[in-house]
Amino acid sequence: MDNKKRPIGLWFISAAVLLLIAYYYHPLYLGTYKDMDLLFKLSAFSFIAWLDIAFSIILIFAVTYGFYYARPWARYFTIFVSCYSGFWAIVSIFIWSSQVIEHFVYFIIYVLTVIYLLMSWVTDYFYLSDSYKILSGKTEIWEEGGKECYKHLDYVLYKRNIKKRGGGTRVFYFFSKDENADGQTCTLPDDYKVCINKKTGIPYLKKKK
């Protein structure tokens, strides 16, 4: 999947995150950080406050650079922060009764973000995009014997010929972590694409349509 097929919802999530962070830390926002002196006192509040600030900084990097270049860690981190923020949105509803609607809207946004990032086509974008293959799914040269092979994460692509029932043979492709797998290492065929088994996390090849 190339950049032209980037899920459009990621742009909305990026925009929403940047706007929420800008609003949350804006000087005119009468919220958690109204009294800046509390940030520099040793307390549970200051710990959570600095944790929020650290999460916000990393999240800005995740939804801009990470989303654009399809980095899987950006998806995981955004899901984590959305769950974390959703929890505090619910807690805030019971603490600040005057801001129930505001925090409920936040909670809905976080839930929708998590649901969207768990969608199969969004997951495929982060794991099957060209920009991700450049880092961890590229064709490499083995030092042992100088054989070319295709690697996806820790899995190496192999092929072997198997007999068909009606006679003849066909090429069977499979991924394995075992260096002594029953097959020959090979490069990624042009007419195949890499998919991920959702249950096992093991990659496999699928014919392109």
Residue 163 has pLDDT above 50, yes or no: yes
Residue 137 has pLDDT above 50, yes or no: no
Map out the domains of the chain as residue ranges: 3-128, 138-207
- pTM, 2 dp: 0.56
- Compute the half-sphere exposure of residue 48: CA atoms within 13 Å on the CB side of its CA: 8
Contact present, 193 and 208 (Cβ < 8 Å)? yes
Average pLDDT over residues 101-113: 90
- Number of alpha helices (DSSP H) and beta strands (DSSP E) in the chain: 7, 7
Q: What pLDDT score does 116 carry?
A: 94
CA-closest candidate to residue 83, choices 75, 95, 72: 75
Contact present, 7 and 121 (Cβ < 8 Å)? yes
Q: Indicate the average pLDDT of the chain.
A: 77
Residue 15 has pLDDT above 50, yes or no: yes
